[in-house]
Structure 1
Amino acid sequence: MFFFLNLIGIFVVIGLVFLCSPNKRNVKWRSIIVLAIVEVIITWFMLGTKFGAWTINLIASFFSFLVSSAYQGISFAFPSAMSIPHVDFFFAALMPIIFIITFFDILTYFGILTWIIDKVGWVISKISGLPKLESFFSIQMMFLGNTEALAVIRQQLAVLKENRLLTFGIMGMSSISGSIIGAYLTMVPAKYVFAAIPLNCLNALLLASMLNPIFVSKEADIVYIPSKEEKRDFFSTISNSMIVGINMVIVIVAMVIGYVALTACLNGILEFFVKGLTIQKIFSVIFSPFAYLLGLTGHDAAYVAQLMGIKLATNEFVAMMDLKGRLNGLAPHTVAVATTFLTSFANFSTVGMIYGTFSSILGGDKSAIIGRNVWRLLVSGIAVSLLSAMLVGLFVW
């Protein structure tokens, strides 16, 4: 019974997102069905085969190497901050952006990244029928995260029209950053974290094509390659990348501080009227029906709905810390769907991070498209997390 409830949940989420689409006639159902089939196969591969687990761990090891390299630079500048057992979010998750952007800009400078975008994007777009750049961006987000991935393709974004830019903002709600995977693994089971990463990115592509269906002509479906005149010398390029990185860190941390503070302020106002009432509790009530559609029992459904509310109102770290203390007392299915749902940046502060990233790399005029469509970003982020959790839930009981 609970398996079929879980299965029904997948169709309910897709149906609700479709109802939210302002352009239902142009939704490409063939692409959605193909991506859904691919995701089922990937989930089985990762959770049902040893080779799948080995492959994911190998990829993760490479990105862990990049993060550890970034930490060497951070430790040189801030040795006391990096020596403590629990490193602050600013140093652990944001500061590595400087090196990661620089590393991938080097790959872009020598044409390696643009070649990968063109080839990998071509494969994914052929399978899904969706544009190349969007297809590659969904893969790129797996370990880079939304802000880093947006920064890496900033030259491509600069030449896109507003309606297409919105797709990247919507998709950006559903990623994580490779720099914090290690932190996740200290709290929740690794296999579900690694299962969530590719599912989130493919689901982001799937749902973005429903929330913002657009037509990209063959002429426009290309990877932007800077001309020789636009290209700086190598050392100017990497120096500029580092400046872009630190500017982005400053903008993002400002947005995160502001949104978390606003949540705390709102909770204080609610507490004044109703004792014990918080925005997290309100969201937990709203999410209760979806928790049941994850194939959960009454008690577990109430707890997972609470975790959903905590994540949306604050961040996934707070929710994961709560889940960590209860892992031994929960059923395997509950642990699987809860961990998968929490493994993404989908919350209010991420909207600010994405807006801040667009503003820092594209300017205020183009970033306004994000401000006008906050509801689409939130719907996408929540729906992607639910859909990924439901897919994983089908294979873990």
Structure 2
Amino acid sequence: MYILLNLFGLIVVFGIVYLLSPNKKGVKLRPLLSIVIVELLITWFMLGTEVGSWVINKIASFFTWLIACSSEGIAFVFPSAMANETLDFFFSALLPIIFIVTFFDILSYFGILTWLIDKIGWVISKVSGLPKLESFYSIQMMFLGNTEALAVIRNQLAVIKENRLLTIGIMSMSCISGSIIGAYLTMVPAAYVFSAIPLNCLNALLIVNILNPVSVPKEEDIIYEQPKSERKDFFSTISNSMMVGMNMVIVITAMLIGYVALTAAINGILGAIVDGLTIQTIFSYIFSPFALLLGLPMHDAMYVAQLMGTKLATNEFVAMLDLQTQLDSLAPHTVAVASTFLVSFANFSTIGMIYGTYNSILSEGKSAIIGKNVWKLLVSGIAVSLLSAMIVGLFIW
């Protein structure tokens, strides 16, 4: 019964997004079917085969090694804190971001990460029949994050048409950043983190081509490459990367403190009005129909719906910290769909980040395309996370 609900959920999400599309005639079925087939094959490979499990373990081991290297630097500055048996979230998950950002920037500096993104983007473009820039960006934002990926293609954003600017903005809702993966691994199972990454990438392409289908002439289907003249020297690059990483730590810390405190304040006000009422309770009812469509029993659906609402209103870290405390008590299917849903930056604050980035690298007139289509960004972010969770859910029971 529950697997049928899970399958029906996929149809419902696709149906809702299609009904919301302002250009239904422009939706091309062949690329969408190709993407869905590739997603099912990837998910089966990663979660249903020994080789896939081995790949996930090796990637997880690599990020564990990165975190261990980060811990060496943290221990040098905070030896007493790192000597504790139980580390605070700030030391175990946030401070390692400084080194991981630097490591990924080193890979980019020597062209390794750039080459990888370009080749995978080319393959996705061939499989899906979608434009190279959008395919390239779907991969790029998975490793670099939305603001960094937008900065890399800023010259091309300045010359493409508004409909493609909107496409890039919509896709940006479903990104993560390679520097954050280590933090995710401290809270939720690695298998679902690494399954969610390619699924979010492909589902972002899928959803945007329903919500905002575009046709791109061959002469406009190109990828911008940064000139060597714009590159800084190696030591300036890594020094800047460390500062960027520290800034990310400060921003995430501030957001966590602020959002958790704000949630507590709102809950206090709601509780004074109606005894026991919290914002999590409200969200659990709003999102419960979608949680049920993940193939969950009612009790688990209400809890996952609460996590979904928490992620949207605050961020995925707050929701993951809650889920982390319940992992041992939840069914495997519930853990799988909840963990997968949470692996992305899709929330209200991300819309502000995308708009701010557009405003800083483009003219105010062009950035207005985001402000006029906020609902599309929200629908995309939620739909991509739901689809990724539903596809993973088909393989874990």
Structure 2: state its 5+ residue gaps. Answer: none
Change (3 A) 1:52 1:178: same
Residue in structure 1 matched with residue 174 of structure 2 by the alignment: 174
Query: For structure 1, which segment, 380-389 or 336-345, has the greater mean C-alpha deviation from structure 2 after superposition?
Result: 336-345
Deviations 1:151-171 (A, max 9, x none): 156231343145434434333
- Note if contact 2:63-2:182 (Cα within 8 Å) is conserved in structure 1: no
Partner of 1:387: 387
Equivalent AA in structure 2 for residue 146 of structure 1: G
Match of residue 156, structure 2, among 155, 159, 165: 159
2:361 paired residue number: 362
Tell me which residue corresponds to 2:126. Answer: 126
Letter in 1 for 2:48: G
| Aligned equivalent of 2:31 | 31
Alpha-carbon distance in 2 for matches of 1:42, 1:216:
28
Q: Which residue of 2 aligns with 1:278?
A: 278
TM-score of the two chains, using structure 2 as the length reference: 0.82
Aligned-pair distance for 1:178? 4.1
Residue 281 of structure 1 deviates from its aligned partner by: 1.9
What secondary structure, in the 3-state scheme, does the structure 2 residue paired with 1:219 have?
helix
Does residue 146 of the first structure (1) align with residue 145 of the second (2)?
Answer: yes
Which letter maps to 2:19? Answer: L
Distance 2:220 2:93 in 1: 34
Instruction: Describe how 1:226-265 pairs up with structure 2 within 5 A.
Output: 226-242=226-242, 263-265=263-265
Q: Name the CA distance, whole Å, in 1 between partners of 2:8 and 2:76.
A: 52
Q: How far does the alpha carbon of each residue in 1:58-77 deviate from its partner, in whole angstroms, 9 at most, with x for none?
A: 23333444454455555555
User: Within 5 Å, which residues of 2 pair with 1:1-397?
Assistant: 1-73=1-73, 76=76, 85-89=86-90, 99-142=99-142, 144=143, 146-147=145-146, 150-152=147-149, 154-160=151-157, 161=160, 162-242=162-242, 263-355=263-355, 362=361, 365=364, 368-397=368-397
Task: Name the CA shift for 1:185/1:245 in 2 (closer, same or farther; >3 Å).
Answer: closer
* Matches of 1:99 and 1:323, distance apart in 2: 26
Cα distance, 1:298–1:226 mapped onto 2, change above 3 Å: closer
Q: TM-score, normalised to structure 1's length?
A: 0.82
1:225-248: CA deviations, max 9, x gaps? 233544444444445555555566
1:133/1:243 CA distance change after superposition, 3 Å: farther
Deviations 1:202-225 (A, max 9, x none): 212221222232333323322212
**Distance in 1 separating the partners of 2:186 and 2:231:** 42
Once the 2 structures are TM-superposed, how far is the Cα of residue 133 of structure 1 from its aligned partner?
3.2
Q: Does the residue aligned with 1:159 lie in a helix, a strand or coil?
A: helix
How much does 1:34 deviate?
Answer: 0.7
Counterpart code for 2:221: D
SS of the residue corresponding to residue 213 of structure 2 reads: coil
Shift in Å at residue 197 of structure 1? Answer: 2.6
> Offset of 1:52 from its aligned partner?
0.5
For 1:178 and 1:265, the matched residues in 2 are separated by: 33
Higher alpha-carbon deviation: 126-135 or 349-358? 349-358
**Cα contact 2:141–2:175 (8 A) shared by 1:** yes
Distance 1:321 1:239 in 2: 31
Distance 2:373 2:96 in 1: 29
Aligned-residue CA RMSD in angstroms? 3.4
Counterparts of 1:322 and 1:340 in 2: how far apart (Å)? 14
Q: Structure 1: where are the runs of 5+ without partners?
A: none
CA distance in 2, matches of 1:376, 1:393: 25
With over 3 angstroms needed to count, the CA separation of the structure-2 counterparts of 1:257 and 1:207, relative to structure 1, is farther
1:125 CA displacement = 0.4
Cα pair distance change 1:178/1:244, threshold 3 Å? closer
1 CA distance for matches of 2:94 and 2:369?
Answer: 24
Alignment deviations for residues 92-116 of structure 1 (CA, whole Å, 9 cap, x no partner) = 6665555555444444444444433
- 1:65 to 1:138, Cα distance in 2 relative to 1, 3 A: farther
Moved more, 262-271 or 51-60: 262-271
Give, in whole Å, the separation in 2 of the partners of 1:97 and 1:152.
17
Whether the aligned pair in 1 keeps the contact of 2:56 and 2:190 (CA below 8 Å) is no
Distance 1:206 1:330, change over 3 A: same
